[in-house]
């Protein structure tokens, strides 16, 4: 459920709005639900609202784990 996508905050605007970018597409969204949003942050966007911030360190950790969990072909003997 809940179609939501990661977008990058490129500019903070007045009244808790922000301009976000996803693959070159830009849209004005509401950031009032997330504390302390800063330019450069990645947030999850749902129905025109940022609902949470993404944590890069955690994302890197997940990716590292993903690679580690995968068996390279030929490695399993």
Partner 1 sequence: MKYVDEFRDGKVARNLARTIAAEVQPERRYHLMEFCGGHTHAISRYGLRDLLPPEVRFIHGPGCPVCVLPVGRIDSAIELARDHGAILCSYGDPLRVPASGRMSLLRAKAEGADIRMVYSSADALKIARENPDREVVFFAIGFETTTPPTAVALRQARAEGLKNFSVFVNHVLTPSAIQNILESPEVRELGTVPLDGFIGPSHVSTIIGSRPYEFFAEEFQKPVVIAGFEPLDVLQSVLMLVRQLNEGRAEVENQFSRAVTREGNLKAQALVAEIFELRDRFEWRGLGEVPYSALRIRDAYRDFDAEVRFELPYRSVPDHKACECGAILRGLKQPQECKVFGTVCTPDNPLGSCMVSAEGACAAYYTYGQFTKITAVAEAS
Partner 2 sequence: MSANPKTVKRGYIRPLDLKHGKVEMAHGGGGRAMAQLIDELFQLAFDNPWLRQANDQALLTRPEGRIVMATDSHVVAPLFFRGGDIGSLSVHGTINDVATSGARPLWLSAGFILEEGFPLADLKRIVDSMAAAAKAAGVPIVTGDTKVVERGKGDGVFINTTGVGVVPDGIEISGDRARPGDRILVSGFLGDHGVAIMSLRENLSFSTSIQSDSAALHELIAAMIAAAPGIHCLRDPTRGGLAATLNEIARQSGVGMTIREDDIPVREEVDAACELLGLDPLYVANEGKVVAVCPPESAERLLAAMRAHPLGQDAAIIGEVVADEHAFVQMQTSFGGRRNVDWISGEQLPRIC
- Residue 45 C-beta: closest distance to partner 2, Å: 8
- Residue 51 C-beta: closest distance to partner 2, Å: 12
In sequence order, which residues have a C-beta less than 8 Å from that of residue 52 and are 6 or more positions away? 34, 43, 44
Closest CA to 9 of 77, 51, 29, 66: 29
Q: Which helix (H) or strand (E) segment is 62 a member of?
A: helix 56-69
User: Binding of partner 2 at residue 47 (CB under 8 A)?
Assistant: yes
Site residues (CB under 8 A) for partner 1? Answer: 1-6, 8, 30, 32-35, 42, 44, 46-49, 51-56, 58-63, 65-67, 69-73, 76
């Amino acid at each position: 459920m809940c179609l939501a996508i990661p977008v990058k905050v490129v500019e903070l605007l007045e009244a808790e709005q922000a301009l976000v970018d996803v693959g070159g597409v830009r849209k004005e969204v509401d950031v009032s639900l997330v504390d302390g949003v800063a330019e450069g942050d990645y947030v999850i966007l749902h129905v025109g609202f940022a609902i949470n911030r993404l944590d890069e360190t955690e994302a890197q950790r997940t990716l590292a784990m993903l690679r580690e969990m995968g068996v390279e072909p030929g490695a399993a003997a």
